Amino acid sequence: MKKRIAILGSTGSIGINALKVISSLSDRFEVTALSAGSNIKALSDQARSFHPKVLCVRDSALAGRLKASAPSGTKILTGADGLDEIVSRGDVDIVIFAISGSSCAAPLICAIKKRKRIALANKESLVSAGAIVMPLAKKNNVSIIPVDSEHSAIFQCLEGKRPFLNKVYLTATGGPLLDIPKSRFDRYSRKFILNHPKWKMGGKISVDSATMMNKGLEVIEAKWLFDLEEERIDVLVHPEAAIHSMIELIDGTIFAQISLPDMRIPIQYAVTYPARFRTEVEFLNFSNIKNLSFRKPDTGKFPSLRLAREALKRGGTHPAVLNAADEEAVKSYLKGRMKFSRIPVLIERVLERHKRAVKEPSIGDIIGAESWAREEMAKLCR
């Protein structure tokens, strides 16, 4: 029987790649449900190609427009309740979480309670609510398979070796500003910042890659996915993006996962795990590689990485505050309301003001800390 998939965020960069993977393995997978924020045109086009039973958009005004353009007979849902309904359906086996932002935590928790198989691209939900999500997944015996390329690499390298793990190396391309002096960051346009040298991704993660907050969020994501202390998660800048991450074992052996940068590989593995199938991606040809280089990240130039590590060490509600402040700062930057160089400065300020931290937060404490951080960032942006 075919596995039935729901994609939350199907019109984004991960969502589109996930649909390519499903098309290429159409004898094994079918689409039950798709969701988008507001891109009605793309969502209805996808619905005509993949025939899902259900679609979901952000609100009822958008749902009215979607009804007019989606194939007749398709059920249309809205908002957070709609996402919860999708992940709870009996005819959904696997949920791909490809919405950006920590609002993904609520449907993720719901999917875990319904014991769905989870392919997790969204990292913000783990950064913010990892302390709730991971124990819940364990309790319900649910596998969370990472889609984020570095975490997929570590997940693949770790198979059968977890007891012997010394530490992990998360690789980072360094983003578009890697070799540009910090004093010149604000001279570069949003178009430049959004044009990542190795990956084609959505706006939020592209800005996070330029500030290197993306790697900071990934350190926290790795902590939760692999149950690691902060000191055992090293970051290495590797601009060629051939090695997607590595693990070091207690005998000094290092395993790396290597391929051309193409998100269809980790997406496919997350839905087919533990099996592997042929992909339609281009394969790496070693004779085309002139150099593989590595350097330590410069946290003076990219303070976001330091801020994320500090938030992780402090624990409790600090990572949720870091993440929410970053989401708001990036939104402001993308709307042209904030200079690029202000992003980490203002995130640090919000973190400094977080005096009511909760050490072992409930989901309510996390939501409260997030909305406080969003308001605080909004005040600083005014």
148 binds Mg ion (CB under 5 A): yes
Q: Closest separation between CB of residue 198 and ligand NDP, Å?
A: 10
Binding residues among 136-175 for ligand NDP as defined by CB under 6 A: 148
Number of residues that bind ligand NDP (CB under 6 A): 29
Q: Which does 319 bind (CB under 5 to 8 A by kind): Mg ion, ligand NDP, none?
A: none
- Let me know: does 45 contact 18? Beta carbons within 8 Å: no
Q: Closest separation between CB of residue 346 and Mg ion, Å?
A: 23
For 91-116, give one letter per residue: b (16+ CB within 10 A) or e: ebbbbbbbbbbbbbbbbbbbbbbbeb
65 binds ligand NDP (CB under 6 A): no
Burial of 134 (0-12, 13-18, 19+ CB in 10 A): middle
**What is the helix (H) or strand (E) element at residue 5, kind and residue range?**
strand 3-8
Beta bridge partners of 145: 119
361 binds ligand NDP (CB under 6 A): no
Cα 249 from Cα 374, distance rounded (Å): 40
82 binds ligand NDP (CB under 6 A): no
121 binds ligand NDP (CB under 6 A): yes
Pick from 47, 201, 219, 235 the residue near ligand NDP by CB under 6 A.
201
- The nearer residue to Mg ion, 148 or 328, going by C-beta atoms, is 148
Place of tokens 């393995």: 25
Number of residues that bind Mg ion (CB under 5 A): 3
Place of tokens 């350190």: 219
Binding residues among 208-247 for ligand NDP as defined by CB under 6 A: none
Q: Closest separation between CB of residue 209 and Mg ion, Å?
A: 8
- Let me know: does 128 contact 122? Beta carbons within 8 Å: no
- The nearer residue to ligand NDP, 16 or 357, going by C-beta atoms, is 16
98 binds ligand NDP (CB under 6 A): yes
For 292-349, give the DSSP string: ---B---TTT-HHHHHHHHHHHH-TTHHHHHHHHHHHHHHHHHTT-S-TTHHHHHHHH
Query: Using alpha carbons only, what angle is made at residue 105 by residues 32 and 133, rounded to the nearest 5 degrees?
Result: 105
Pick from 70, 94, 99, 119 the residue near ligand NDP by CB under 6 A.
99
Binding residues among 29-58 for ligand NDP as defined by CB under 6 A: 35-39, 58
Pick from 4, 12, 174, 242 the residue near ligand NDP by CB under 6 A.
12
User: What's the one-letter identity of residue 212?
Assistant: M
- The nearer residue to ligand NDP, 122 or 272, going by C-beta atoms, is 122
- Let me know: does 39 contact 62? Beta carbons within 8 Å: no
Cα 217 from Cα 305, distance rounded (Å): 8
Pick from 70, 77, 212, 263 the residue near ligand NDP by CB under 6 A.
263
- Supply the angle between the helices 363-381 and 105-113 in degrees, to the nearest 10: 170
- The nearer residue to Mg ion, 14 or 33, going by C-beta atoms, is 14
63 binds ligand NDP (CB under 6 A): no
Task: Please state, as a whole number, how many other Cβ atoms lie within 10 Å of the Cβ of residue 368.
Answer: 16
Q: Please report, as ranges, the residues that interact with Mg ion according to CB under 5 A.
A: 148-150
Q: Please report, as ranges, the residues that interact with ligand NDP according to CB under 6 A.
A: 9-15, 35-39, 58, 98-100, 103, 121-124, 148, 199, 201-205, 263
